[in-house]
Structure 1
Amino acid sequence: MHLTLSQFNQAYERRFPTCHLIPMFVDSEVLEETESEDGSIHQVQRRCKLDVDAPRLLKRIAGVDYVYFSQENTLNKRERTLHIESHNETFSNRVIIHELCSYSAHPENEDWTCFEQSASLDIKSFFGFESTVEKMAMKQYASSIKKGKEIIEFYLNQLEEEGISHVPRWTPSLDAPSSSSVTTKHVCATPKLLHLELPVTPAVSIPVSTDANKLDADYIKRYLGDLTPLQESCLIRLRQWLQESHKGKIPKDEHILRFLRARDFNMEKAREILCQSLTWRKQHQVDYLLETWTSPQVLNDYYTGGWHHHDKEGRPLYILRLGQMDTKGLVRALGEESLLRHVLSINEEGLRRCEENTKVFGRPISCWTCLVDLEGLNMRHLWRPGVKALLRIIEVVEANYPETLGRLLILRAPRVFPVLWTLVSPFIDENTRKKFLIYAGNDYQGPGGLLDYIDKEVIPDFLGGECMCEVPEGGLVPKSLYRTAEELENEDISLWTETIYQSASVFKGAPHEVVIEIIDASSVITWDFDVCKGDVVFHLYHSKRAPQTPRKDPLVGQHSSSTTPGGNNVQLIDKSWTIGLDYSMVESPLTCKEGESVQGSHVTRWPGFYILQWKFHTMPGSASTNLPRVDDVLASLQVSSHKCKVMYYTEVIGSEDFRGSMTSLESSHSGFSQLSHATSSSNHSQSSSMISR
């Protein structure tokens, strides 16, 4: 179909504010509409609401029902072009979608319209569903291209039915001014809802150099660092915008600059995350945190982190002995909120130290170096509520303290580290990952190691240096300091009410079993359970064939695989099965006492069915009893002490996700690549299993 650009534009505008031909297009509203004084340039900015065709599970995990896109249309009647540019607002920190459509008059036939369309999709992280999101985006994009032509034809036919078969070309009026300056015709009156408070200033424009919009060169060199004219312009304009739109305390240039750098000096994106952060700081009184926050004594005694001199570049140095920290004990004693506040106070202290070091060294120091010692790290640190608290802390810090980490040195990384990295890496910004340097074993002592970044005189004694370090050595938090679930709930901490944990009853002669089907070898099965009552023995078995439907044991009286308030009991291994023939043991039995918390993982060698089993622990002397097996079971069920209870959670990390998260980590040291190979090899032996308490 041949149509002029004027006809096309009239048909295109009829798609708004809603379009019944596009079911996923729910609504749209105009944020801003501008037109040049001579009427040749017409710009419209819209916010579109879409109901994306995504699985219900994915929507629930993401926490959204609708996705919002920003769209800017620029119609140049003089040049006879129409440019449509759109990008996503929802999940912009995880997924970046950018689409550009260009329409122009054909150079040889003005009754024809040329059309070009391009789109890009950059998925940084999306709750582990990156491949799913990519497939859905490609499917919907391909569908929209085909649908677009049908919609245009529909509205063109509608125009013809209304008697509009020709739209004359635009011609300038005789009294129109020659200037192409733009005047605003309409601005949306609900900036709070849209998270926009002023029209977006194009980031590519550079103002004319005047004293009013330039910073002093000495000031830049001393406090800000090297800035290009464009970067300097962005800083000035964002600061001016804050002065005009925000009442109260305006952040320092160094703080504004961090947000600009975090978004590659994109004014719109930097302003959005900075405004959100300023609102967050005000809401939680973060500016006064250092004066009002007093660390509980348990943190002073058992939190294994602290400031320690500075690195070779003058950056403040923070040391965290994560391998010596009892993460579960701290969470149980303090709750997630107190740990978060403590980490925020560390970041606030880091900002203060950067300012002090800037004055001391006479050059800009805007970030710090963090040294993390993983000596002692094991599966105990992968306790699920503890990891959940860590992910929340990472998310808050990433959003409000961008570009404050100059370098992260990870020392003595053990074999369990890849599992931890798999869990937390999707929540870490890609630019931040590039600052990670990982050393396995004692690699940090050689060339390219610690001495390249830290002076020998300040290397801590526990890392082979001569400097005494005041960072606490940690240790286990006494259980007497643990707080009850009710006490934690009173502080809005919901760690102990999570539904991811299931409860199960274990009887003598009636173990509880969970089956996990593995399709891809080299996947990782992880488990986390607490022995709430009694003593149990934990096993892990493998079978090539699927167990039968959970049977109902007449002695137990229940077989449901769903969680019930009183716990459940599911038995999967048939009594006719023979170990070594029908199924095999892939982990050595582990005896767990009442009150113990156990975390572990297993790198699978074969596909098939893996069965996790919790079995009643029989005391050594009970084997000599003369009671028959059935009578023994009946007797045990009548005695409350012969009933055990466990709370458990299991998760499978696919081989592709497990390896992919490791290969995405950038490191210049060969020690880490060896570590990655050792923990993801399909020929890894059973000794790769990691269990801790």
Structure 2
Amino acid sequence: MVQKYQSPVRVYKHPFELVMAAYERRFPTCHLIPMFVASDVISEEKSDDDSTHRIERRCKLDIDAPRLLKRIAGVDYVYFVQKNTLNRRERTLHIESHNETFSNRVIIHEQCCYSVHPENEGWTCFEQSASLDIKSFFGFESTVEKIAMKQYANSIKKGKEIIEYYLHELEDEGTTHVPRWSPRPASPVKPGGVSPVGGPDKLDADYINRYLGDLTPLQESCLIRLRSWLQETHKGKDQHILRFLRARDFNLDKARETLCQSLTWRKQHQVDYLLDTWTSPQVLLDYYTGGWHHHDRDGRPLYILRLGQMDTKGLVRALGEESLLRHVLSINEEGLRRCEENTKVFGRPISCWTCLVDLEGLNMRHLWRPGVKALLRIIEVVEANYPETLGRLLILRAPRVFPVLWTLVSPFIDENTRKKFLIYAGNDYQGPGGLLDYIDREIIPDFLGGECMCEVPEGGLVPKSLYRTPEELENDDIRLWTETIYQSASVFKGAPHELLIEIIDASSVITWDFDVCKGDVIFNIYHSKRAPAPPKKDPLGAHGITSPGGNNVQLIDKSWQLGQDYSMVESPLTCKEGESVQGSHVTRWPGFYILQWKFHSMPACAATNLPRVDDVLATLQVSSHKCKVMYYTEVLGSEDFSALLAKC
């Protein structure tokens, strides 16, 4: 039986716009509602004139229920989906929410409305109603009903207090009036599209609405500052930068660090060119059971993975870990491209995709240890370099073996990503709160009971004739992993890394491109008429440091004197952690040129013998006085260099 609840109309003696400003302060968490643990924005949409704002949130609640009931149900938190529609023109806010957890057993639906008082436009009315339908709940139906009634009564009682609290908070801050919405004049747009520039410290409002989504002034400021820093060091799109900011809750330092590491990784492995250079082996085309399939209700690209039908052991034995990783990276790159396309098609920001994973057929053979190891490696790389690209993960037909796999992989998945997982056992996805809530009926694949033909391969066992020996797989993995024009090197305090370049023809051009991955370094270029001695096998032994993989080379002999045995041909360049440096040097003489990356020690304070706090902190940040650089150099003839510049 469906239970219905209706609360009396509540009146706030404040204008609608001011009440809305107070209401927004409840998110993403509210200390006045202890059970309201967190909330995440799932989707957001604004009209061109900013009169309508639709936002969908996923809310995490810690329901006050007996511990025994929670243990039987197998959950600690309950998730609700809340859809808000704010109409500034009509001055109304409609709120609809329903439970996502146990939606096949309990259906909770709540509707709320804020509107202008019919007799006094300076006041605001609030109405609230809810319905509860308990189908089955492990024999605790009456207990669940009492809990729901108690929570609803507390919500009604607490609701007015919360809005009043935030209204007083706004008043204490000096905000007693929020202007009403009025149509704004259309801003001229150049034929090329929407410009991102709205001033030195502000983005154009149309550009934000069209490509980025809703941003608070603080978030917009973080984006501008990080973008400005990147313009001096790396190239990055606003949408890509924003993903890293959101993944780090707009902590600028953390976002900059992870984004810099990711951009360096992309550069080293030439990921920007992956879609043009990577060709999937035939065995992947035949047996990898994944592919793109239309889009979900929010316009997000939809990727379908029939993991239960995939022969993970056969693919790993036939291809190796690196080939599988490259394939998954190409899928993510294609996802980014499709997000950009859908943003243009739907006229609103689409920055992530939806993934549907069908586990029908999953069994213990999928828990083969090397296969799980490859899966964990892929998760690690994707988590580090594609944050906030997964909007929702629908896991369907989860079998009994799934909890074992989930226990293995869940610790490697970011908490914010785990919140986006929706798991359905058996045929639960066909009921309320299931697949139809997220995907239009006409595109549900045929193997899930829909009518749409899906081109995702059906998989099957990879023939053992395609298996490769461990030696072949290892050699192929090494080839793919080292297939890059860049080299890595470690720089230690007292042990610089040096690179020798022999120049035969004067007026040649030495070019370089390097990233400072860790620590700060000083870059020098020296010239010598005589060749330095071959590098020692253990150049760091005197410093008590072992050179990892021989990636630290010292060429300049300690007996050499600057100005006699060798000379400096470029002024020293101090390079900070995270910077990407490109440059060139036109050689004046033949001979031997040495490119040197030297550990940068912070200068001591001249006024006192005591080190500054900043110096101490900077020293602590570089563990064991170690820096890392990734570099590429090339020598060009003067004519080739001139031709190259002419093309740029």
Tell me the TM-score normalised to structure 2 length.
Answer: 0.43
